[in-house]
Structures are given as structure tokens and as C-alpha cells.
Chain A
Amino acid sequence: MSALVRNYFILTAFALGLIVVPLVLPNPEYNLSNINRAGLVAIVCIGLNLLLGFAGQISLGHAAFYGMGAYFSGMLTAPHLGIGLDPWLAMVIGMAGTALFAWVIGIPTLKLHGNYLVMATLGFNIVIIEVIKAWAATGQEDGLGGIPELSLFGLTFDNEVARFYLIFFFVVAAILISINLVNSRVGRALRAVHGSEVAAASLGVNVSRYKVKVFVLSAVLASLAGSLHAHMIMPTPGDFDIFHSVDLVMIVLIGGMGSVWGTLIGAILLTMLPHWLGVIQAYKHFFYGLVLVVILIYLPQGLFVGPVDAWRRRRAKAGGAS
């Protein structure tokens, strides 16, 4: 069974499993609100995984793209700001606007490597957040209130069950895009770029164009998640700061770079972790940091990729012997 077919198989099972989650989960309104948050984060991280895991380019600025989506949607639809567009149209405009922005900054940014790339993306994240904080129309530190709910065919997404289906529809779509892309010509080119930019370029891969393209795609996914966020949770600048960007990259690293499923599990685990640590709220950051550090030190390939690879190797060896 090829990897692509296996992934389709898992995705179908996953999508079917999702349908029953709200039906069997105890106390759905409360539990689903956390899971929905994780779903939004998962959409961003699936995009980020394409950039980090396949193209090998790091970004500490994706929370800013997430925020741009949220503020595009919020400012274009909130009645008190006087534009009042249709939320779905605003979402598309947000994605287009974020794509354009990512493309413009992506060209000079992705020429940088390693440390410099990390710091440039981090720098532009801080700039965006500080501008949001200083610009009166965004509601500044208090957040942007009065954003209408999303609705479709008369159904309003004002309860967590409806939101769950909407968010996870996009999660499944993002996974589908991701696994198709990875198994395409573009995906192979990206992996070649990850392996060695020089070798890829010498084989005719337009390295910088591919890097910018995947950067833009991941920014668009982040913007989509941000738009959904804005219609469900009031956006404040603190939701999109560099610490949030750090969380996003941590999820991809812990889930295992280059693994779509690892990223998904990582997104759910790391979003829920602070909630589970809720009982020891005062020590939240301490334990969160400790868990991250221990995983990065001892399982640098992430929680899933390393162990799964080891298991596959052992199975292959056992199969060869019999």
C-alpha cells in the first residue's frame, strides 16, 4: 500500500470518527470549546508543517498571519467599523490580503537561513502586534468586539457543536491539501530543497520560488484559521504574539517535522496540556517548559516520528528474517 493510499485511508477513518465525537463526548459545550481551539491551531500547524517539515524553513511569525486573518475578518465585518461585509467574503479577502503580504515579505525573508530566518520572522511578528496595539480601530489591547457569528444556509455557528463541524471540516481539508501536495511534484521538490538547497537548484528546482510558494500557502491556512477564530472568540493582540508563534513551531517540532498526523496529534496535545495543567495553574509555565525541553533533548525527532520509524524498522527487519 503506497503512503498516499494509506494516508487517504487514515483520513477517511479520521473524518468518520470526527462525526461521532460531539455525540459521545460528555459535557460537549465545555470540552468542545477546548477541542475547537485545538482544531484552529491544527489548521495553522498543518500549514506550518509544510514549511518546516517539508521545505525545512522555520518561521516564528505565523501567529501574525493567524492574527492578520482574524483582524481582516473582524474589521471588515464588525458593524461598528462601518464596512460590514459578508463574513465569508471577508474571509476570502483576508486570505488574499495575507497571501499578498506573505509573498511580499517572503521574497527577502526566505533568502535568509537558520538563526537569521528565525529572527526576521520573529521581528515582523512583533512589528505587526505593536501596530495592532497602537492602531485605534483594532480596539487595541482590549480586543476587537462586536464581530458577527458565521452562518451558512440559515444555520448559525453560535454553539460549540456546530463550530466543531465547521472547524474540523477545514482541518480535514487542510490535511487533504497537505497529503496531496507532499505526494506531488511540488512535494518532491520541497523535500529536495530541505535535503540540500544547492543540490535541488542544480537539478533544476527553482528553490526560492518553491520556498516562497509554500510560505504563502502556510500563511493562507493561518489566515483562514484566524478568520474562523475571529467569528468565535474575540481577538486580542495577545492571542497572536511571539509566544503564540513559539507554541505553533513547538507543536510541529514535538509532533515531528514532516508528519501530518504527528502535527495533528501535537496540536491537540499541546493545546490541551495547559488545560490539564490547570489544577496546578501557578506552575503551568514551568511544567509546560519542562515537558517541551525534555522532549526536544531526548526525542529531537518529535514524540511520534522517531518511535514510529524505529517500530517500522524493527518490523521490516522481522519481516525480512521470516
Chain B
Amino acid sequence: MTGEALTTALTQALLTGLTTGAIYALVGLGFCIIHNSVGIVNFTQVDFVTVGGFLMYSFFIAVGCLFIGTPGGWAWPGLPFKIEPLPPVPWWLKIVALALAVVAVTLVGAAVERFFIRPARSKQVIVLIFITIGVSILLRGIFEVVWGKTPVRMPAFTPGNLKLMGAAYTIQDIWVLGVTLVSIGALHYFFQRTLTGKAMRAAAVNPRAASLAGISVNRMVMLSFALAGILGGLAGMLITPISSLNYTIGVMIGLKGFAGAVLGGYGSFIGAIVGGVLLGVLERVPTMIDVVVSFLFGADPKLADYKEVVAFVVLVLVLFVRPSGILGRGEVQRV
């Protein structure tokens, strides 16, 4: 391996890490919003990722941007896709499909709160967490019936790629970074500048005082689930063309988003972003070590086989050593 190939491989690992990191950041933000409003880890966040990707896939098919002629997929229940190739469609139809998927995933998020969290008789943290786990199992059942178990695949939103120091950077990666940045900006604007955003923060800080001021706390909690749905859903939509998607893939991406949020400082928005991106890059460290070691010694230690463990080793270590994460305020206990 030449020195040039080494820099290319390292740059590639770093860029890939950045893209996955952006995905984790989106998911982690969703975890944080619900943590701040209800005080629980919402396990359905991992399903928002899956449902976002799946709905986008189906809407792409529905508007004619994606053609599934082979087995491995039927997009809607009872509708086998045996249609002949469709005529070329205008580019804005993809935007329409994406927008429809965002609206749908928002409704899914709100529905989880309205039908499962709000009616809960017990507000104990353990019970609420396990309700979200139960909903996750239920949604898994729906996914299996509607979209099947084999991962759905689809092409990039826009084909093509750029070269950066010899490493390939696809337009899809730029989509990921762009949408993540826009979402963060929009979220910041929403929470700092709009009345609803401020009301949500008030309801999170002190629900009773907020309701005395005329804020409907229930509605704010529902809104936080809707927002978390959008963030998770966007993550799922952006990652589907890159990694394909099924229930298990969604669960892993979702839990890694959580690990990223903990690394950054659970409950802090900036923490979720920093931690998510950092985790995405950390996950590429075994690959980078492989590359460097085979460059120096000519033998591949195959550490990349353990890539899936990195996020969870980081999660456990952070919780053991510094549960408040890099930027967090820590686990405050009231006696």
C-alpha cells in the first residue's frame, strides 16, 4: 500500500464516520427532546428511524420515483408491484415524496404519545419505558406484515459522487450533512424564537407552572413526540439509500444514536450533536487501525469485525466513568 492509498483510506473512514455521525446526531436529538419533556428513554425513537425509511420508500414508489418489479418488495398491503417501467418523472416528485413521509412520521410520533403514553395509569419511569418498548414490539409486528423482513433498498436521492483527497464522497452524504444541519438550525429557531417552542421549554422545566400560565402540557408532550418522530424519521430516510433498512438495522442505528447522546451528555442538545458525530467517527477507528497496521506491517488485524461493539463499549464506559457525558449536567438526584 502506498502512502497516497493510506491517506485515501483514512480520509474515506473519516468521511464515512462523519455521515453516520450526523445520522446518530439526528436520532440522539429525538431522544433528548422526549427525555426533557417526559423524563424517559423513549424506545420507539428507534422505530421512528425505521418507519421514516419505510414510509419514504413506499411514497417514492407511490409517486413513481422508484420502481420495484422484483420480489423482495411489495410496498403497500395487497398491492403487488408488477407494473411496467414508468416514464421519467420530474425531480420535484422526490421532494413531494419526502415531504409526505415527514408528515406521516410526524403523525406516527404524535400517535404514540396520544394512544400509548397519555392513557398510562402509572407515570412511573419503569412502566413508561416498558410501554415504549411494548409499542416498539407492536410496531415491529406492523413492519413485518407491511414491509417484510428483508431489508428494503433504494438508490441515492441524487446519483453521483465527488472526490476528496482520493476518497469518494457521494451526493447522498451531502444530503445527510445538509439535512442534519438544516434540522439543527430549524430546531434552534423553533425552541428559541417561536412561542410554541418557548411554551414547550416551559412545560419541560415546570409542567404545573406552565399549565397555570395557560399552556396545555399534554399538547406540548405530544408535540415533543411529533418532533422526535420527525428527527428519527429523517435519519431513517437519509440512511436507507446508504445502508438499506429493516427493523434490526433501525434498532441498531437508534440505539447508537442514544449512545451518542449519552457520550455528549444526555439531555443536552449540543451534547447529542457533538456526541453523535464523535461516535460516528469513533466507530471507524478499528477500520483506521486496520489500515494503518496493514500499511506498516503488511498484516490486517481485522479489528473492523468488532465495529458493531464500539458504540456500546463507549456507552457502558461513559456510564461507568462519567454518566454526565462530555457536556452534560449530570444525573441530579432530588432527595
Contacts and interface: CB of A to CB of B under 8 A. Distances in A.
A299 B138 CA distance: 18
B319 A119 contact: yes
B333 A289 contact: no
Interface string B300-321: 0000011011001101100110
A250 B136 CA distance: 13
Given A130-B309, A249-B130, A297-B119, A289 B136 contact: yes
Contacts of B168: none
Nearest to A249: B130
B116 interface: yes
Interface residues of B, number: 47
A300 B122 contact: yes
B140 A285 contact: yes
Interface string B147-184: 00000000000000000000000000000000000000
Interface stretch (A68-76, A85-93, A107-115, A152-160): A107-115
Per DSSP, chain B at the interface is helix
Contacts of A114: 125-126
Q: How large is the interface on A (under 10, 10 to 19, 20 to 34, 35 or more residues)?
A: 35 or more
Per DSSP, chain A at the interface is helix
Interface in B268-325: 305-306, 308-309, 312-313, 315-316, 319-320, 323
A112 B319 contact: yes
Contacts of B122: 300-301
Contact of A112 (B119, B323, B335): B323
Contacts of A30: none
Contacts of B127: 253, 296, 300
A298 B142 CA distance: 22
B289 to A, nearest CB: 16
Given A115-B125, A120-B319, A292-B137, 5 more contacts: A123-B316, A253-B126, A285-B140, A293-B138, A300-B122
16 contacts: A112-B323, A113-B333, A120-B315, A123-B312, A124-B316, A283-B141, A286-B145, A288-B137, A289-B134, A289-B137, A289-B140, A292-B130, A292-B133, A293-B138, A296-B127, A300-B121
Interface of B: 35, 39-41, 116, 119-122, 124-127, 129-131, 133-142, 144-145, 255, 258-259, 262, 266, 305-306, 308-309, 312-313, 315-316, 319-320, 323, 331, 333, 335
